[in-house]
Amino acid sequence: MNAFDFAKQIYADFNVDVEKAFERLDKIPVSIHCWQGDDVNGFENDSALDGGIQVTGNFPGRARNADELRADLDQAWQLIPGPKRLNVHAIYAETNGKKVSRDELELEHFARWIDWAKANHAGLDFNPSCFSHPLASDGFTISNADEGIRNFWIRHCIACRKIAAGLGKALDNPCVTNYWFPDGFKDVPYDRLAARERLKSALDEVFAEEISKKYNLDAVECKLFGIGAESCTVGSHEFYMGYAVSRDKLLCLDAGHFHPTEVISDKISSTLLFLDEILLHVSRGVRWDSDHVVTLSEELQAIASEIIRHNFDQRVHIGLDYFDGSINRIAAWVIGSRNMRKALLQALLEPAAMLKAAEDSKDNAKRLALLEENKTLPFAAVWDEYCARSGVPGSFDWYAKIEQYQKDVLSKR
């Protein structure tokens, strides 16, 4: 008996159908963030990264242009099993060397991303880029007290929303557009309300036009604090929870945007009682940084389990958001993405019926025992089979491809 058949039998003993798990897993896409490939640089060329997010590291081989980034994505794509989407930021526009102001961006500047998505059977997601720009230099963008600056960012967001709808239409697949603003106070403000009022009315302007959910879904992303915004973030959790509920938007929960002891896995079941859909930015916070490469942690598992246990497959949009420039960037993509899928598969292999029965009969020892037993069931054999059926290398075999690509491509940049 081979390892997979053996594993399948063991899971069957726990009333788990591995084939059904594969089927369901293959309907859950993970949206992969293009910005891990070039340290959130984008192609404007003349703006340094700022706005409360920071990438550290200078591992050689960073993608310097769109063609290099797409080539790197092609490589990553071959090593990640299952359906994938690509998440693009506005600063990844291709303007043919022409300087186009962010408030004048158009769909045509993303035509090559559409071609790439079509060729790779991937949906596209989108984000206005409200950082790394002279008009973001005082720490405030769309909630800036200066009307001119505020209007610039409102126009940028409106332009992005149109582009997103265009992407969704071109691919016949709704684009999830995420709005995140770095706006916040380094030191304790006297007036927290005014900036929040400005953010609220600015967003209402951005979303004024009705756009079909067939093409575009808007999500708003909260944050507790950022670098240079330690004392008060305008777009806090309460702000966006209220905004999303009252305006029928998606709430974006980024795993690195809360207090270090606060977890987003616990927020999924609450938020989805009041919202149709949410977006996740799966990340890993480490002390002050919110964006380390996603590992197969207890929290990642909890996030995946919350989605699977409650059949939220269609209501939770899973996006990744992290950036590490200190290691091979393609490996970073692949490690985090494979971990997300591993966590989903592991969630699908939970002895769900037995757990439910134990909990319903208040047998908490049995519940704990099952959860712990589950951690050491022969998962690896099932994962390898899933990779094989998805046409990507299993176990550690994928790493050889990274080493080869490093030698053949990255080291020559």
- Which residues are marked as active site? 180, 221, 223, 254, 257, 281, 289, 291, 321
254 scored as a contact of Zn ion (CB under 5 A)? yes
223 contact, one of ligand RNT, Zn ion, none, CB 5-8 Å limit per kind: ligand RNT
270-329 residues near Zn ion, rule: CB under 5 A? 281, 321
- Shortest separation between residue 318's beta carbon and ligand RNT, angstroms: 14
Write phi, then psi, for 282 (nearest 5 degrees).
Answer: -80, 125
- Residue carrying the six token digits 């002279």: 134
Other CB atoms closer than 10 Å to residue 186's CB: what's the count?
Answer: 15
Site for ligand RNT in 19-48 (CB under 6 A): 35, 40
Q: How many residues bind ligand RNT (CB under 6 A)?
A: 12
Joined together, the tokens standing for residue 341 give: 């899928």
d(CA 89, CA 251): 18
Pick the closer one to Zn ion by CB: 51 or 351: 51
Residue (144 or 290) nearer to Zn ion, CB: 290
Judged by beta carbon, residue 254 or residue 324, the one nearer ligand RNT is 254
At its nearest, how many Å lie between Zn ion and the CB of residue 322?
9
173 interacts with, out of Zn ion, ligand RNT, none, CB within 5 to 8 A per kind: none
Decide if 339 contacts 331 (C-beta within 8 A). Answer: no
For residue 106, what are the contacts with CB-CB under 8 A and spacing of at least 6?
159, 162, 163
> Restricting to residues 209-238, which ones interact with ligand RNT according to CB under 6 A?
221, 223, 226
How many angstroms separate the CA atoms of 331 and 174, rounded?
28
* CB neighbour burial string for 402-412, b if at least 16 within 10 angstroms, e if fewer: beebbeeebee
Both tokens of residue 177? 């557009």
**Among positions 30, 32, 53, 171, the unique one binding ligand RNT when judged by CB under 6 A:** 53
Contact 132, 52 (CB under 8 A): no
Among 39, 72, 125, 254, binds ligand RNT (CB under 6 A): 254
Q: Which residue is nearest to Zn ion (CB)?
A: 281
Kindly state whether residue 321 participates in binding ligand RNT, applying the rule CB under 6 A. Answer: yes
Residue of 66, 52, 67, 58 whose CA lies nearest to 39 = 58
Q: If we measure between CA atoms, which residue out of 141, 316, 318, 158 comes closest to residue 234?
A: 141
Cross-strand partners of 250 = 219
39 binds, among Zn ion, ligand RNT, none (CB under 5 to 8 A by kind): none
Which partner in Zn ion, ligand RNT, none is near 82 (CB below 5 to 8 A by kind)? Answer: none
Least gap, CB of 218 to ligand RNT (angstroms): 14
Dist. CA 373–CA 155, nearest whole Å:
54
Contact partner, 53, from ligand RNT, Zn ion, none, Cβ < 5-8 Å per class: ligand RNT
Q: How far apart are CA 334 and CA 211, in angstroms?
A: 34
153: Cβ contacts below 8 Å, ≥ 6 apart: 128, 130, 135, 141, 142, 144, 181, 202
Binding pattern for the stretch 142-181 against ligand RNT, x by CB under 6 A and - elsewhere: --------------------------------------x-
> Where along the sequence are the contacts to Zn ion (CB under 5 A)?
254, 281, 321
> Where along the sequence are the contacts to ligand RNT (CB under 6 A)?
35, 40, 53, 127, 180, 221, 223, 226, 254, 281, 290, 321
